[in-house]
Amino acid sequence: MPVNEQRHKVRDVSVRVWRSGKGTPLVYLHGAAGFPGWLPFFEQLAAKYDVLVPEHPGFGKSDNPAWIRNVGDVAMYYLDFLDGLGAERVHLVGHSLGGWIAAELAVRNTGRLATLSLIAPAGVRVKGVPSGDNFIWSPEELAKNLFHDQAFAERMLAQPLSEEDADLALTNRFMAAKLGWEPRWFNPALERWLHRIDVPTLVLWGADDKLMPVKYAEVWRARVPQVSVETIPQCGHLPHIEKAEATAGKLLGFLARRP
Amino acid sequence: MKFTFFHLMPYRPLDMAERHKHRAAWVVLPNTLYDPKKGAEEYHAYIDQLAHAEELGFDVIAVNEHHQTAYGLMPAPNLIASALIQRTSKAKIAILGRALPLVNNPINIAEEFAMLDNLSKGRIITGFVRGIGNEYHATGINPSFSHERFQEAHDLIVAAWTRPGPFAFEGEHYNLRYVNLWPRPYQQPHPPIWIPSMGSSETIKWAASPERKYTFLVTFSGRDLVARYLNLYREQAKEFGYEASGDQLGWASPVYVADTDARAQEEARAGMETLFNDFLAVPWEMLMPPGYTSLSSMKNTMRMRKALGAKKRHSLEELMASGTVVVGSPRTVRDELSKLRDATGANNLVTMLQFGVLDNEHTRRNMELFAAEVMPHLRD
């Protein structure tokens, strides 16, 4: 399936968007490391849906407007983004930081959402179960802690970054810190508004996530009204990469049961 | 020249083998490695050294702020400054500096400095810094807003010192309905402000601007960088239409003097090498949290770091060769320091005469020899 890279402008902010497939739009919000490349996972989704993967403001080559200072600002930006798509409703999927953004958007307004799917989302915490400190980890520690299967970590570390990619990674790291440094990867107010998410919701988690502990799934299970929670065994923080087949399968199964 | 005796107050009894089981002597080093009985002795010895510096004729004695580290035992430097006010009568007391972005209400800093200024009847020099990257891990403050918070806190503190209160302060990070400092500072319009810095061009331009003219100190840098940054300040002042005075310029350096070069190197080695390799050295991720510097300067630093290759221990010889430390006979030390003074026109030398694990006896000898054999030759 051909992938189309384009720029999408809403008000004063222009971002990169990768798009492929036909059908109901499915918008995927990426995690703190930025656009992960066009993954086999996206291919599987694009067989059934019109998949859009925007690069968040401040990440990669998207605009970085000064007014975006926290996750709430990004969520408001994506409400504008969805209004500008020309579709009545979309399936919204978010991973990690992107899951947090999607949830912040949903507690504000689910008017544009058919469903909400969160993969190892940030945004809430469980006291006594801290998230991993990805900002203090060395690149080696980060790779190791992102995966259950260390072969993935070794492959990640074996690929030297080009200068351009290293610059983009640093840009992403800067924006991730702006959004998630303190409080680290959560908004204390979000948990008390999760009851407002009134669309079918799927929460997917790798059972061996060393960055966002799978224990956090309990908060989503307890607070989101129409939620189903599924864990993926032998999987770290990146289920869409480490267990792409299983993750796409669970997500497509969930979506197929909805209009 | 004017001479400052500056102290970091390192925790010398640190078990270095244990320290190297952790990523740094900062933030994550278990505080079970701190023995309060030994630590209390350290405080007493260091305060004695600072008080002794006044007797030896130093113009300024100085302390500084770091958090959650064996590198320096002064998370609250104003407490030490307060003790020094009681132990001394002539020397200026500099706090180099308070890390402005790390506090949630900068008025606390304005108040404490104003109190110290009154207690000392105007002997206080204040220093404003952002804190080093490690501090953003230690305090949780978002490094992305470090520059903004520094600027805003600075504006608030100076306004609190100089504007009749009460007035309202309306900022992005700090919003206060009533700013009304009791006490006001003793020195008018306010105590001197020094800016210790590793030397970013933005900081230099900001410090040199005519409404500020803050004294700019280059810290822990080789002689070439010291000269480059101080001359940048001079050029910047010229662009603003004035000539920077030597009092606006200074640099900080660990110094050790003994009767011969060979003896100085032998006695200074462990102290200098532990300072840079055991106490100060931290991984990149800790030192440079994202947002602490601009994206473009971080990109440059990363490229330089890649070019330099893997980290290794710095030897005393390397530190001397770059001019990051000055070690030798009185004549060697005089020559080295006067060369840099002549190249920059700087009038402030901030000496660190206790460093790393250097013991009390060698520190005392170093201070006395420096005061007797170096200082008089570099005085104006």
What pLDDT tens digit does each residue of chain B (380 aa) get?
Answer: 999 999 999 999 999 999 999 999 999 999 999 999 999 999 999 999 999 999 999 999 999 999 999 999 999 999 999 999 999 999 999 999 999 999 999 999 999 999 999 999 999 999 999 999 999 999 999 999 999 999 999 999 999 999 999 999 999 999 999 999 999 999 999 999 999 988 778 889 999 999 999 999 999 899 999 999 999 999 999 999 999 999 999 999 999 999 999 999 999 999 999 999 999 999 999 999 999 998 988 888 887 777 766 668 999 999 999 999 999 999 999 999 999 999 999 999 999 999 999 999 999 999 999 999 999 999 97
Residues of B in contact with A167 (CB under 8 A): 299
The pLDDT tens digits for A33-55 are 999 999 999 999 999 999 999 99
pLDDT at B311: 65
Distance from CA of A20 to the nearest CA of B (A): 32
Q: Report helix, strand and coil shares of chain A as percent, to nearest 5.
A: 40, 20, 40
Distance from CA of A174 to the nearest CA of B (A): 5
pLDDT at B199: 74
pLDDT at B203: 87
pLDDT at A259: 62
Q: Do B137 and A136 touch (CB under 8 A)?
A: yes
pLDDT at A80 over 70: yes
Nearest-5° Cα angle at A51, A49 to A55? 165
| CA–CA distance, B129 with B99 (Å, rounded to integer) | 5
Give me the mean pLDDT over the A191-202 stretch: 98
Residue with tokens 């001397």: B320
Q: Which two tokens stand for residue A10?
A: 């809403």
Which of A138, A176, A183 lies at the smallest CB-CB distance from B285? A138
pLDDT at A98 over 90: yes
| CA–CA distance, A58 with B332 (Å, rounded to integer) | 52
Give me the mean pLDDT over the A174-194 stretch: 98
Q: Which two tokens stand for residue B345?
A: 């026109």
Distance from CA of B163 to the nearest CA of A (A): 31
H/E stretch holding A49 reads none
Nearest to A31 by CA among A94, A123, A78: A94
Computed over every residue of chain A, the mean pLDDT equals 97
Q: Which chain A residue has its CA at the smallest distance from B286's CA?
A: A136
pLDDT at B82: 98
How far are the Cα atoms of A10, A122, B246 from residue A114, in angstroms, in the given order? 21, 21, 68
Residues of A in contact with B29 (CB under 8 A): none
Interface membership of A181 toward B (CB under 8 Å): yes
Q: Which two tokens stand for residue B141?
A: 């403050």
pLDDT at B302: 80
Please list the residues that pair with B327 across neighbouring strands: B256
pLDDT at A258: 80
Any idea what DSSP says for residue A162?
P
C-beta contacts of A43-47 below 8 A and 24+ residues apart: A43/A1, A44/A244, A44/A245, A44/A248, A44/A252, A45/A21, A45/A248, A45/A251, A45/A252, A46/A1, A46/A20, A46/A21, A47/A1, A47/A21
Q: Do A181 and B143 touch (CB under 8 A)?
A: yes
Note which residues in 155-174 of chain A have CB less than 8 A from chain B: 163, 166-167, 170-171, 173-174
With contact defined as beta carbons under 8 Å apart, do B107 and B176 qualify?
yes
Q: Kindly indicate the confidence band of residue A160, based on its pLDDT and cuts at 50, 70 and 90.
A: confident
Distance from CA of B269 to the nearest CA of A (A): 30
Q: Strand, coil or helix: what is A139? A: helix
Interface test with A, best of B68, B147, B295, B296 (most A CBs within 10 A): B295
Which of B143, B144, B285 lies at the smallest CB-CB distance from A137? B285
